[in-house]
Chains A and B, each alone.
Chain A
Amino acid sequence: MASKQFDIKTYAGFKGITLLCLVILYAPLIVVTVYSFNASQSLTNWEGVSLRWYADVFTGPESGKFKTAAKNSFIIAIIAATTATTIATLATTGMVRGGKFRFRTVSFGLISLPLMVPEIVLAVATLIFFNSIGFERGLLTILLAHIAFCIPFAYLPISARMQGIEDSYEQAALDLYATKRQAFTKILLPLMMPGIISGFLLAFIVSLDDFIITNFVKGAGVETLPTAIFGSVKQGIKPNIMAISTMLLSVSIVMVTISYFVSKSDNTK
């Protein structure tokens, strides 16, 4: 019986396609990582392992540009993710623990709006908006735009988490004469932590990675890592770009992995 069921579920070739899928997804990333350690000046020839392009990123002719861009990127990502996570945590509490109310669907629509509007359209709209109110473009415009589109990315894991937490814990605290504020900060927030951390990390990555919107709303001469990389790539792919890319993709993969394990951890027991 068991073997028959197994047989029904299996289709010849599906495993092969899945493996092909993984190869397509990972091959470009692996190739770039490998070639970032290439000792050769040229992109094509392999001349042995070396860290020269990593050294070039930190001390080479373009290092000043990249350092400033990296600093901008990380400052914006930290502030945008923190702000978006705070806003999203409060909004989740209102949506999931706020009972039924009239503007619930509208609120959910508003929160997911940045995901529905195509990125390039959101970029155009934000640029036009800042222009129309005479807001000079610079780091601040990038930050504000990032806070907005980070909110849904923070909201989704946080709200998934809160829906999984029964309210009996808070009710117990309230029965024991805790105030609502205490029930929130002492009971609900700690239980929510895995979702909040996961949401923060996703918002952080999304902000760190954004190119299109940043490219539109940044002022002249203000660069983040993606816009600096794009400017450099437009003149041809150079080995130092592969070193930077490898570092940036490692950051993303490490953070997503942390987010995955944190969100899986269960602290309600």
Chain B
Amino acid sequence: MAAGAASGGSATTDTYKEARTWLLLPAWVTLAILVLAPVIMMLIYSFLTKEFRGGVIWEFSLAAYDQFFFDRGLFGDDPAKIEWTYITIFWRSIWQAGAATLLSLVIGFPTAYFIATRSENMRPVWVFLITIPYWVNLLIRTVSMKFLLRDQGPLNDFLMNIGLIDSPLHIVNTNFAVQLGLFYSYLPFMVLPIYAAVERYNFALSEAAADLYASKWTTLRRVLLPAVKPGVFAGCILVFVPSMGSFLAPDLLGGAKNFMIGSLIEEQFKGNAGNWPFGAAASMILLTMVLIILMFSTRQQAKADKAGG
């Protein structure tokens, strides 16, 4: 039922059937011109020849993808070897997004569970509290995080004042800072679907398990978790996907050593690299990965819906 509501509605009527095309036309036209056409144009640009200092020459070329995967030496005539630079950056992005997802899950699951087991009028208040920070400017949140975590920042001050540490912890410009930033950026996406799943969960099942002498943790693992798995899965996807292509967290909290896909792409258009076809190709590879993940997750959800009846 809820899945139907989320995907566009179960309570549909046909009062405005005749006007339907006209009602939808503005949305179709706007999104076709401003989203669909640009993505197609990006695909085309990734197969064009680069113009130095930005832009393209309209001549077919596979150079962008070739540069991404193969190293042909300085003059381009050495035998092709695998180019690890960009694959490493992609791999790091996947790894960082995975770590951020795990962190969000470890903290987000108990939070979602706790909220879902509050009284019915307290639940929206808790959900509201968790989602407010999400609506604050991502840039401001990331800058705030950096300010808090700095070597001379309030967190280190506090920890040194209470005597927990003697010298400041170096958190900024580490992988962990990026993971923390990503966690901070997308946590509500983890909490909300799990919350929705736990709220629908029938606690009589847990009671039945308890009556059969299952311990509380066994009940959690063997009865509750399988029942709310689709929510957990959706949460993981919703955190992982935007984390992978993020730009602000790695740029502000990670420093130059912790380069991720977002920064690699940005540099092709805004920075010194100025290689548009290469930036378009890297974007296409990222987009393809994301679409594969989304397709896979839709299939999983459909399977889960079927299994759940």
Contacts and interface: CB of A to CB of B under 8 A. Distances in A.
B36 interface: yes
Interface residues of B, number: 100
Interface string B106-137: 01101101110100000010001111110111
A17 to B, nearest CB: 4
Contact of A9 (B32, B124, B203): B203
B199 to A, nearest CB: 12
A245 B17 CA distance: 47
B110 A97 contact: no
B12 interface: yes
Which applies to chain B's interface (DSSP): helix, strand, loop or mixed?
helix
A61 interface: no
Given A31-B154, A120-B245, A120-B247, A90 B23 contact: yes
> Which bucket holds chain A's interface residue count?
35 or more
Nearest to A241: B143
Nearest to A184: B16
Which applies to chain A's interface (DSSP): helix, strand, loop or mixed?
helix
Contact of B210 (A8, A91, A100): A8
Given A90-B27, A129-B41, A183-B15, A118 B245 contact: yes
A96 B9 contact: yes
A135 to B, nearest CB: 11
B228 interface: no
Contact of A99 (B20, B129, B210): B20
Interface of B: 5, 7-24, 26-28, 30-32, 34-39, 41-42, 45, 55, 107-108, 110-111, 113-115, 117, 124, 128-133, 135-141, 143-148, 152-154, 157, 183-184, 187, 203, 206-207, 210, 216, 219-220, 241-242, 244-248, 252, 261-262, 265-266, 269-270, 276, 279-280, 283, 286-287, 290-291, 294
Top 4 nearest A-B pairs (CB, nearest first) are: A99-B14, A118-B245, A94-B23, A129-B38
Interface of A: 4-5, 8-11, 13-15, 17-18, 20-22, 24-29, 31-32, 35, 43-44, 86-88, 90-91, 93-101, 104-105, 107-108, 110-111, 113-114, 116-122, 124-129, 131-132, 144-145, 147-149, 151, 159-160, 162-164, 166-167, 170-171, 174, 180, 183-184, 202, 205, 208-209, 211-212, 215-216, 226, 229-230, 233, 237, 241-242, 245, 248-249, 252-253, 255-257, 260, 264
